[in-house]
């Protein structure tokens, strides 16, 4: 299982970025995909997930209506479209997966130690 995140960058508040997570060694048809983020001095937090079976999506409250998670099965890639970015969204973003973790509306409370596979992080900077 390998995950490679990309697409981070630096934007002004109100701007947009699209993160990508290329998965290899497994199929998105069978694994839920999760985006986490970690800001300096803070714990890593679950941001969004997409389920493997029906593609249901869930978001932590702070990003609802602004972020959109999606997947391209043909490319085995997951995306996180981030719009209306705020300075508090600045963090290192990680994609992750765990076959046994159920993507659901408790995404905000998922603990990073419960997730088996992690990709590299990608830095998102938002200036005010």
pLDDT tens-digit map of 24-68: 999 988 999 999 999 999 999 999 999 998 999 999 999 999 999
DSSP states of 84-118 as a string? S--GGG-EEEEEEE-TTPPPSTTGGG--GGG--EE
DSSP-derived 3-state class of residue 62: helix
DSSP-derived 3-state class of residue 15: coil
The predicted pLDDT at position 101 comes to: 87
The predicted pLDDT at position 80 comes to: 98
pLDDT-based confidence at residue 5 (cuts at 50, 70, 90): very high
Report yes or no: 124 and 90 within 8 Å, Cβ to Cβ: yes
Q: Write down the mean pLDDT value for the chain.
A: 95
Look at phi and psi of residue 7 and say left if phi exceeds 0, alpha if psi is from -120 to 50, else beta: left
């Amino acid at each position: 299982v390998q995950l490679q995140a990309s697409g981070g960058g630096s934007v002004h508040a109100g701007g947009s970025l699209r993160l990508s997570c290329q998965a290899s060694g497994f199929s998105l048809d069978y694994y839920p995909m999760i985006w986490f983020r970690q800001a300096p001095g803070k714990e890593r937090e679950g941001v969004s997930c997409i389920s493997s079976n029906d593609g249901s999506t869930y978001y932590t409250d702070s990003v609802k209506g602004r972020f959109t998670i999606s997947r391209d099965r043909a490319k085995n890639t997951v995306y996180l479209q981030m719009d209306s970015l705020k300075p508090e969204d600045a963090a290192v973003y990680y994609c992750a997966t765990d076959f046994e973790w159920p993507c659901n509306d408790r995404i905000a409370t998922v603990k990073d130690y419960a997730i088996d596979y992690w990709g590299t992080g990608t830095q998102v900077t938002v200036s005010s």
